[in-house]
Amino acid sequence: MDRLNDLRKEIDKIDEQILKLLNERAKLVIEIGKIKKEQNKPLYVPSREKAIYERLKSINTGPFPDEYIKNVFREIISASLSLEEVQKIAYLGPEGTFTHLAGIKHFGLAAKLIPLSNISDVFEYVEKKRCAYGVIPIENSLEGVVNHTLDMFMDSALKICGEIFLEVSHHLMNLSGKFEDIRKIYSHPHAIAQCRKWLSKNARNITIVEVESTAKAAEIAKGDASVAAIASEMAEIQYGLKIVEKSIEDYTNNYTRFLVIGFNEPAKTGNDKTSIMFSLAHKAGSLYNALKAFAEENINMTKIESRPSKRKAWEYIFYVDIDGHIDDEPVKKALENFSKNVNMLKILGSYPKGEK
């Protein structure tokens, strides 16, 4: 018993030291904030944050686990940044969506997260500078791309400043936590698609209803035990529901990738990604000729999508992600050559790669 008390006393002493150091650190962040404001520089610097996480991980001697260093420092940085200015972040709401979770994962709990009801509103909010950044979903590892997000980049001046990966798990939940009460299941079309096998096996006689978000489904389920939602754990907590069945998705390895959009153009970190969009002439070999520029510089392409241009029938806009930063020599050179073989090229941003 005495030993337990002694150890706790030691922990108390260490916590006091940590708190003292956190305050020392916060003072420096405030100083840096003043300089950035004077020089009109962005307060949030993702490249610096990434460098901090990477450096601490590389010098960690343990037993504190490497994989939680980022979580702890994410919150320290988030709270410190709020001393410079509370970061306002718009996201695809309502509260409890996976995008909400992604926003917290990236910006920490001290940021003010503002739920908006659709992807266009998030773009508009950031474009009109009503907040610093926006968080929107871009693709799911099982369902593919979120077309609406890709299309928004056609007419937007916003840049991609970051990406966030979130492992997605879907749970069936209602007010009572009892399967026999359920007559209808609500969810987002992507979530329903990801649970197709489970639903056809277990919910044949239950009506499935599509709504605009998993959180909206949870909100509806809050009022009536005969309505269940397929949603995230966050929605369960947010709306006071009980889980009927956990992880009902058909496949594991289900990740959603989110983008952070804003006017910030992050510096290179050595582990970055660049997103571009372009259009081509309707000629044999034009895509091949253009993409050759990346192969010649040994640049890995991590994604390619095409979308109708919406300007003219059967004309397409291509979206490509490549490894590297626009300030890396090979990327610069490749894009220079690439631009000679396309009709239109727009750089959507270079940003630190998200952790999977």
Give the shortest CB-159-to-ligand ISJ separation in angstroms.
16
Q: Cα(25)–Cα(30) distance, rounded to whole angstroms?
A: 9
Measured from the CB atom, is 45 or 135 closer to ligand ISJ?
A: 45
Burial 338-347 (b: 16+ CB within 10 A, else e): beebbeeebb
The angle, 0 to 180 degrees and rounded to 10, between the axes of the packed helices 46-59 and 66-84 is 140
**In the complex, minimum distance from the CB of residue 314 to ligand ISJ, in angstroms, rounded to a whole number:** 44
Please, what is the minimum distance in Å from the beta carbon of residue 185 to ligand ISJ? 41
**Cβ distance to ligand ISJ smaller for residue 84 or 323:** 84
Q: How far is the CB of 33 from ligand ISJ (least distance, A)?
A: 7
Our answer to whether residue 256 is catalytic in this structure is yes
Active-site hit among 98, 107, 258, 278: 258
**In the 8-state DSSP scheme, what is residue 179?**
G
> Which residue in 99, 256, 269, 274 is the catalytic one?
256
Rg, Å, the chain Cα set: 23
- Cβ proximity to ligand ISJ: between 32 and 243 the closer is 32
- Contact status, residue 149 vs residue 119, Cβ threshold 8 Å: yes
C-beta of 80 vs 194, nearer to ligand ISJ: 80
Query: CB within 8 A of 107, min separation 6: which ones?
Result: 78, 87, 89, 113, 133
Tokens standing for 58? Answer: 């590389």
Establish whether the linkage from the previous residue to 308 is cis, with ω within 30° of 0: no
Least distance in Å: CB of 80 to ligand ISJ? 4
Interface residues with ligand ISJ (CB under 6 A) are 29, 32, 44-45, 48-49, 52, 77, 80-81
Closer Cβ to ligand ISJ, 75 or 181, answer by number: 75
Catalytic residue status for 258: yes
| 291-309 per-residue burial string, b: 16 or more CB within 10 A, e: under 16 | bebbeebebeeeeebebee
Q: Which residues are catalytic?
A: 256, 258
